[in-house]
Amino acid sequence: MNKATKYQQRQRDWRNGALVYQVLPDRFAPATDLDSKKHLYPAPKKLKSWQQAPQHGHYLDNVKLWSHEIEFWGGDFASLSNHLHYIKSLSVDVVYLNPIHLGYTNHKYDSLDFHKISPEFGSRADLLKLADKIHTLEMKLVLDGVFNHMGRNAPIFQQALADKNSQYRNWFIFDNALPEGYRCWNNAANLPELNLENPAVQAHIWAGENSVVQSYLKQGIDGWRLDVAHDIGYQLLTELTQAVHSVNSNALIVGEIWCYPQNWLKGAVDGVMNFTAREIIWRTCQQHIKPHIAMRMLKRMVEDAGVDNLLKSWLVLDNHDTPRLASMLPEYADQQLARALMMSLPGSPNLYYGSELGMQGGDDPLMRGPMQWQLNTPDNPHLKDLKALIKMRKNSPALTIGDIRFIDSDNLLAFERYTDRVAESVFCLFNVNSTPVTEYLMTTNSSLMNMGGLNNALTEQQSDIYIKAGLIKVTLPAKSFLFLSPKTQAVQGYTTYKRVP
């Protein structure tokens, strides 16, 4: 396979370098007719006003839940559908929804029936209408698959709990030596784990033609993000992914895997939520990891995992399980450094609803606040600066589907994203230090012409930096970044790039 074919094939696959937008349906947009839905939130559940922020609750022993797990804000598919144009305005490629299956809590990670949709959001037919509208806007829809466990209130679990002869008894792992008498995820009593080695469970979730995974795909869903995928393990994930691809070879399986990604990307899943990259970005922006060490880590990860696998992996800065970016990195310059790294490293950037507006939020449940639509203003610096980064990335094949080579530097984090066309190269330079840095950097792209000029890829203006025998001299202010691309256009009919691709 020649290089041109490689990059063309990458670009044709929607899963490579896609921009993902994550939505908690309950918290994204207020329902238009909340009064008609109030009966869906019976006590001890509570329906909050959109202006209220989530707060830490107290443990309710009678339902084995924290009180903040059963506080709701009332968002649904209809309200989300009414705001899809906002998501599209961010040039998003994929809408990813947190769990929507029938569940007791607000987060729905305690499914009662995977085939059913929680009525607070709508019906399965409503989901398909939402999917159609998302597709009309030329975006994809990925659902959250929570297949490691179910909810304690699931009828099949209650039946198995009450009757040792139940057909569902072997769907779970009962053991009197365990604190609850059954195995539950992270020892949370509300989350009994499924016995995934049971062929009947496999047939129900992914192996059967009418299984949960396959049936949603056949109805037009474009992929699954798998919750706690590392708990499912290599072999079962591989079988699940193969079942998905038997229905749709272009469907996406992304695993929530908080492990080093290398071995998980050898067929178990198409991509991971790249928390290793997140940790490196976060710690580097905090100046806990020196830039040259960060580059060494990233280079090793790229070599081990492979660019093609990383392009399908989601680059996450924050989500429903972590503090929001604005709370994690309070200084705006650090936030921008993190965003710029997310938009330039190989992968699919994942935007968590509201963080593009600068929403704050600490540990659970504070990071799951309702969308603050009043922050959506033209002069919001978070939104304005992020859109500029997105525009640059969307206009750059190298940044979306290109390869990467790292540039030697002691004080800068520096790399080149490139394709088979020198004009598409982008040099990505980051100074995470609190002081300015001036360095000579060696570019190792042999197609870069001597005394060739460089443009600022973000502003689309010519810079004053020139290439001299493969070296460039750069000065970056404290906590800043710079994107440079070769100036290959002819001037008065002449260019030294006339005989290089």
Q: What is the pLDDT of residues 461-478, one digit of tens each?
A: 999 999 999 999 999 999
Residue 493: pLDDT over 90: no
Mean pLDDT across the chain: 97
Residue bearing tokens 């995928």: 229
The 10s digit of each residue's pLDDT in 159-172 is 999 999 999 999 99
The 10s digit of each residue's pLDDT in 427-462 is 999 999 999 999 999 999 999 999 999 999 999 999
CA distance linking residue 49 with residue 47, whole number of Å: 7
3-state SS class at 476? strand
CA distance linking residue 61 with residue 425, whole number of Å: 58
Judged on CB neighbours under 10 Å (0-12, 13-18, 19+), 234 is middle
Q: What is the pLDDT of residue 438?
A: 98
Q: Are 22 and 351 in contact (CB under 8 A)?
A: yes
Q: Tell me the mean pLDDT in the region 286-311.
A: 98
Q: What is the pLDDT of residue 311?
A: 98
Q: Tell me the mean pLDDT in the region 16-25.
A: 98
Q: What is the pTM of this model?
A: 0.97
Report the share of the chain in percent with pLDDT over 90.
96
What are all long-range contacts of 399-405, with beta carbons under 8 Å and residues at least 24 apart?
A: 399/17, 399/343, 399/344, 399/426, 400/11, 400/16, 400/17, 401/7, 401/10, 401/11, 401/16, 401/17, 401/311, 402/7, 402/346, 402/426, 403/307, 403/346, 404/302, 404/307, 404/345, 404/346, 405/444, 405/445
- Output the six-digit token pair for 482: 């710079």
CA distance linking residue 209 with residue 257, whole number of Å: 27
| DSSP one-letter code for 288 | S
Residue bearing tokens 């040259």: 292
Residue 339's identity, in one-letter code, is: R
Q: What is the pLDDT of residue 2?
A: 60
> What region does 389 belong to: left with phi over 0, alpha with psi -120 to 50, or beta?
alpha
| Nearest alpha-carbon partner for 441 in 408, 413, 417 | 408
The pLDDT-based confidence of 133 (bands split at 50, 70, 90) is: very high
Between 420 and 491, whose confidence is greater? 420
421's CB contacts (< 8 A; 6+ apart) are: 397, 501
Q: What is the pLDDT of residue 4?
A: 57
Q: Tell me the mean pLDDT in the region 288-307.
A: 98
Q: Are 150 and 111 in contact (CB under 8 A)?
A: yes
Q: How many helices (H) and strands (E) does the chain have?
A: 17, 22
The pLDDT-based confidence of 501 (bands split at 50, 70, 90) is: confident
**Range list of H helices, 60-102:** 77-81, 84-89
Q: What is the pLDDT of residue 452?
A: 92
What's the Rg (C-alpha) of the chain?
A: 24
Q: Tell me the mean pLDDT in the region 189-217.
A: 98
- Output the six-digit token pair for 364: 């659970």
* DSSP codes of every residue in 383-434: HHHHHHHHHHHHT-HHHHH-EEEE---SSSEEEEEE-S-GGG-EEEEEE-SS
All domains of the chain in start order, with CATH: 3-31+75-148+201-359+372-400 (3.20.20.80), 402-486 (2.60.40.1180)
Residue 393: pLDDT over 70: yes
Q: Are 155 and 113 in contact (CB under 8 A)?
A: yes
Residue 145's identity, in one-letter code, is: G
| Nearest alpha-carbon partner for 84 in 11, 23, 34, 42 | 23
CA distance linking residue 242 with residue 103, whole number of Å: 27
CA distance linking residue 43 with residue 45, whole number of Å: 4
Angle at 345 between CA 20 and CA 324, to 5 degrees: 55
The pLDDT-based confidence of 392 (bands split at 50, 70, 90) is: very high
